[in-house]
Amino acid sequence: MFVNAGLLRAAPLADWTLADWQASLAVNLTAPFLFAQAAAPALRASPSPSLLFTSSTGALRGHAGMPAYHATKAGLVGLCRSLADELSPQGIRVNCLLPGWVDTPFNGPFWSHQPDRRMAERDLVGAIPLRRQGTPEELAATVLFLASPAAAYITGTSLVVDGGYTAV
């Protein structure tokens, strides 16, 4: 089972409301927890039980204006580790995918928060060793691997797929 939830909001700290914070917490951390709780019985009965969360390299790095996103995605890594410890003895593998920058509309709030989007995008791509953002297809291939029998001995891990962004 693949839990791919995400809410990204970007604003200066002073502009964040409690409602903004709680909405991010609800989508990025509470919903995956509730999904895992509800899915566990079905996963126990599955011939290939795997639970995969989408976190983010935002769990490892920070960007101004996005405190809730980074905090919740880091929390999701902790949730993954805890659930792996609890569910793996029952044969259920639990992992996290940590995508880096992927060229999709999801990143719109980040780009809108930048004073000069073109310069920010140029600087970002220059900071990625592969010198480009990832594609949805590249992440889909990683998801398929983690859900496959080829990953049968992988649990409790966070797999970073980011073109080297967090390595340098």
Active site residue 69: yes
Expressed in angstroms, the distance from the first to the final Cα of the chain is 32
Label residue 1 exposed, middle or buried (CB < 10 Å: 0-12, 13-18, 19+).
middle
Could you tell me if residue 166 is inside a domain? Answer: no
Judge whether residue 156 has pLDDT over 90.
yes
Could you tell me if residue 167 is inside a domain? Answer: no
pTM over 0.75: yes
- The residue range of the domain holding 120 is 2-161
CATH code for the domain in which residue 82 is found: 3.40.50.720
| Catalytic position from the list 69, 101, 110, 165 | 69
Structural domain count, the chain: 1
pLDDT for 99 equals 97
Could you tell me if residue 36 is inside a domain? Answer: yes
**pLDDT mean across residues, the chain:** 96
Could you tell me if residue 50 is inside a domain? Answer: yes
